[in-house]
Chains A and B, each alone.
Chain A
Amino acid sequence: MTTARAITCPSCGGTIEIRAAGYTVTLACRYCGSLLDVAHEDVRLITAYRRAAKNFAIPPGARGTLFDVEWEVIGALRRRSGSALWQEFLLFNPYSGYRWLVAADGEWQFGTMLLDRPEDDRLAVSWRGRSFALEDDAEIETTTVVGEFYWRTARGDKVQGATFANGREQLSRETSADEVTWTQLIPVTAEWVEEAFTVEQRHMPRAPRPDLTEGFRKAPGMAEDDLGKMFLIALASLVLILMVQVFLSGPRACSDGRATVEVGAATSTHRIGTIEVRRPWQLVTIVVDSDSFTNRWVDLDYSLVNRQTQQSIDAYGIVEFYTGTDSDGPWSEGSHHAETLISQVPRGTYDVYVDAGAHGWPSDPTPGSIDPANPWGQGETVALWFNSCTGGFSWGMFWLMAALLFSVPGVIFWWRHDS
């Protein structure tokens, strides 16, 4: 009985010796990387590639002794889960079967497939009388394959991989559509692996750099569900802020006033109401509506004058509305309505004054000229209706809070989906 089985790659014509003849089902050609079905006598091309995967920390074909058994690296995989990248080496000895060497984060693990499976639980499993706690449960993707394997494998294969840990020992459960496999992983030192095999240090998967984004992308055991919670917390905080803002805005007391200003004339001062601030500090909102002018603007300088102290709190508002026609057609801009929010108004009774000045655009109408549309007029005026209220809701503050609250989960979301 011969042991060797040599095949010819149907894609590149290279001669490949199958090392685990009788077990190997899939082979990725070491010359061209093409994926071959070698389960049967007639070799079948599954997927043709032009270049074999290279740059593994241990090249397939290497032999080394671990745990008193000589192993041959017959296959190698590059895999990833989220941002974590690692390499897996399939070890074979015809008398001892298959084992795994896993190189991740600059550390090594030695894996043995389990025949006695752990008792399943969601967050922990027990195996041979010991308990292993769930550490991670995420999708694992195989990105490159080279060498031979006893199962059907391909680039892009995806499995659900869960890791359970007891100290530094791990049990890994991989679930695919067809089956569930359990592997025990024990840590082995890099020195020990390097004694057995020639390890290409420059091809080792890099240990993760401790940067800020790494923490965003890879939170062990939480990678799946922390983000949703963060969004919920942000939303709940925003609702709370909304409620507090509404509560803090009251009580509401309003006062109405009206003023008429002549377009092009000097600014005139009008008293437009009296309000009483009953809380130590409160917002005051002044809403103004004007009649419907076009191509005019009205500057509004508000003053809240405290009756007791005669101290004044100033704020600014404007109503403006323009229309015209340009190369894009007719346009209009502005509004006959404006709101001004005055913050941190101390307790007290205030008279509300406005210095209003109305102007024409592009220029003020000439004083004394007769407007053909209004020949009897005393000059054009703008009527303004004011409503001054204590209390108010600061939408600007609300949206600032919203942006701040959602920025952290938003950035994490972007990181995860970008990589």
Chain B
Amino acid sequence: MADLTCPSCGAALPVRDPGLPYSTCAYCQTLVRRGEAGSLEAVGTVAVLPADVSPIQIGTVVNRDGIAATVVGRVRWGWTDGSWNEWFLRAADGRAFWLGEAMGMYMLTSEYPRVLGVPAIFNFVQGNPMARDCTVKADGKWLTATDIKEATCLGSEGDLPFPTLPGWTMTNVDFRNAAGDALSVQRDADGTTAWLGVWSNLAGLKPANLRQIEGWSIPRALA
């Protein structure tokens, strides 16, 4: 696919994932919506991402069940007591993943819409609050809601499935269990999505093309 140019500044706007409607211009922070017929529309300006030392970057590849998935975009979420990155990945088989970063650990999840029908989650989908310690079953695993956050978009880069303009908010519920399984349910203006996966350290993702962070060398086990 031919690369596009930013309708605002004219800089090159690489298409990393043609299946995603939104792309952030790396030069002028314009949020561009790509239409069905190849149309481009500037819909606003995205906040500049705050500095961080994440080892992930656009283009980083992680491995899950032998399938490689490539990072195509990132959104940074802020809540009252901090902020975190969520990286959007597209696998070779077309599956989409979110890679959430927290406390130097990673939560790699793929979409699992079936759990949205579970009564406790369906109730949440309909706009009701989620109870902490609520337990649900997803793909044969029992998981407990441990973390409920109201998050605001702090900025974005690359290609993403939703508009990351300032003021875009979502409610995030993280479920986990003793085995290290993870379920993340996110509700925003566009609706609710559910993502099921695992907690892992970086080495467990067998990553490639990590970001070179100034002042640090990539440990041998990850290089």
Contact = CB atoms under 8 A, between A and B. Distances in A.
A97 interface: yes
A72 B199 CA distance: 24
Given A40-B78, A95-B202, A22 B83 contact: yes
A94 B53 CA distance: 6
A39 B79 CA distance: 9
Nearest to B204: A115
B52 A150 contact: no
B201 A119 contact: no
A152 B82 CA distance: 9
Interface string B92-103: 000000000001
A70 B50 contact: no
A117 interface: yes
B105 A113 contact: yes
Interface in A117-147: 117-119
A176 to B, nearest CB: 13
Given A3-B214, A22-B83, A115-B180, A93 B219 contact: yes
Interface string A1-45: 111110000000000000111110100000000000001110000
A92 interface: yes
A96 interface: yes
Contacts of A70: 216-217, 219
B168 to A, nearest CB: 17
Interface in A73-128: 92-98, 113, 115-119
Nearest to A20: B53
A32 B53 CA distance: 25
A41 B54 contact: no
B219 A41 contact: no
A179 B146 contact: yes
A39 B220 CA distance: 31
B81 interface: yes
A305 to B, nearest CB: 84
A94 B55 contact: yes
Contacts, number: 104
Contacts of B82: 23, 25, 39, 150
B180 A94 contact: no
Interface in A271-330: none
A3 B104 contact: no
A70 B220 CA distance: 11
B90 to A, nearest CB: 21
Contacts of A40: 78, 83
Contact of B81 (A4, A23, A25, A96): A25
Nearest to B221: A68
Given A25-B82, A70-B217, A95 B50 contact: no
A282 B103 CA distance: 77
B57 to A, nearest CB: 8
B184 interface: no
B202 A97 contact: yes
Contacts of B179: 116
A128 to B, nearest CB: 11
Interface string B122-160: 000000000000000000000000100000000000000
A92 B202 CA distance: 13
B222 interface: yes
A39 B202 contact: no
A97 B178 contact: no
Contacts of A95: 55, 202, 210, 213, 216, 218-219, 222
A22 B219 contact: no
Interface in A165-221: 179
B109 interface: no
Contacts of A68: 219-221
A232 interface: no
A73 B210 CA distance: 23
A19 B104 CA distance: 13
A3 B51 contact: yes
Contact of A94 (B105, B200, B201, B213): B213
18 contacts: A1-B211, A3-B53, A3-B213, A3-B214, A4-B51, A4-B214, A21-B51, A21-B52, A22-B52, A22-B83, A25-B81, A40-B83, A68-B220, A94-B213, A96-B201, A96-B202, A115-B200, A117-B178
Given A3-B53, A98-B103, 10 more contacts: A1-B57, A5-B52, A22-B52, A39-B78, A69-B221, A94-B55, A97-B104, A115-B105, A118-B178, A151-B81
Interface of B: 49-55, 57, 78, 80-83, 85, 103-105, 146, 178-180, 199-203, 210-211, 213-222
